[in-house]
Amino acid sequence: MQHGIYYAYWEHEWDGDYKYYIKKAAALGFDILEIAAGPLPGYTKNQLREVRKCAEENRIRLTVGYGPAPENNIASPDASVRTHALEFYKDLFERMEEIGSDLLGGALYSCWPVDYHGTLDKKGDWERGIEGIAKMGKAAAQYGIRTLGLECLNRFENHVINTSEEGTRFVKSVRELEKEAGNVKVMLDTFHMNIEEESISNAIRTAGELLGHFHTGECNRMVPGTGRMPWKVIGDALKEIHYDGTVVMEPFVMPGGQVGKDIKVWREIVPDISENALDEDAKKALEFQRKIFEI
Ligand SMILES: [Mn+2]
- Which region holds residue 103: left if phi is over 0, alpha if psi is between -120 and 50, else beta? beta
pLDDT reported for residue 192 = 98
Band the pLDDT of 295: cuts 50, 70, 90: low
Over residues 177-196, mean pLDDT: 98
Domain boundaries, given as residue ranges, for the chain: 2-293
* The pairing of beta strand 184-189 with beta strand 147-151: parallel
For all residues of the chain together, what is the average pLDDT?
97
Is the pTM above the cut of 0.85?
Answer: yes
Over residues 15-43, mean pLDDT: 97
Q: Which residues are catalytic?
A: 151, 250
Distance 250 CA to ligand 1 centre (A): 6
pLDDT reported for residue 40 = 98
Q: Are 75 and 132 in contact (CB under 8 A)?
A: yes
pLDDT reported for residue 228 = 97
Distance 182 CA to ligand 1 centre (A): 21
Closest of 72, 71, 5, 66 to residue 36, by C-alpha: 66
Distance 189 CA to ligand 1 centre (A): 5
Instruction: Enumerate the β-bridge partners of residue 60.
Output: none
* Cα angle 205, 209, 214; round to 5: 75
Contacts from 163-167 at CB under 8 Å and sequence distance 24+?
Answer: 163/196, 163/197, 163/203, 164/188, 164/193, 164/197, 164/203, 164/204, 164/206, 164/207, 165/203, 165/206, 167/207
Distance 7 CA to ligand 1 centre (A): 12
Name the superfamily (CATH) of residues 2-293. Divalent-metal-dependent TIM barrel enzymes (3.20.20.150)
Distance 6 CA to ligand 1 centre (A): 9
Above 70 in pLDDT, residue 234? yes
Which residues, by Cβ under 5 Å, contact ligand 1, an ion?
189, 215, 250
What's the per-residue H, E or C state across the chain?
CEEEEEHHHHCCCCCCCHHHHHHHHHHHCCCEEEEECCCHHHCCHHHHHHHHHHHHHCCCEEEEEECCCHHHCCCCCCHHHHHHHHHHHHHHHHHHHHHCCCEEEECCCCCCCCCCCCCCCHHHHHHHHHHHHHHHHHHHHCCCCCEEEEECCCCCCCCCCCCHHHHHHHHHHHHHHCCCCCCEEEEEEHHHHHHHCCCHHHHHHHHHHHEEEEEECCCCCCCCCCCCCCHHHHHHHHHHCCCCCEEEECCCCCCCHHHHHHHCCCCCCCCCCCHHHHHHHHHHHHHHHHHHHCC
Question: Rounded to an integer, what distance in angstroms lies between the CA atom of residue 97 and that of residue 69?
Answer: 21
102-146 tens-digit pLDDT: 999 999 999 999 999 999 999 999 999 999 999 999 999 999 999
242-293 tens-digit pLDDT: 999 999 999 999 999 999 999 999 999 999 999 999 999 999 999 999 999 9
Over residues 85-105, mean pLDDT: 98
Question: Rounded to an integer, what distance in angstroms lies between the CA atom of residue 11 and that of residue 119?
Answer: 34
Distance 221 CA to ligand 1 centre (A): 10
Q: Are 256 and 223 in contact (CB under 8 A)?
A: no
Percent of the chain predicted with pLDDT > 70: 100
Distance 4 CA to ligand 1 centre (A): 12
pLDDT reported for residue 294 = 84
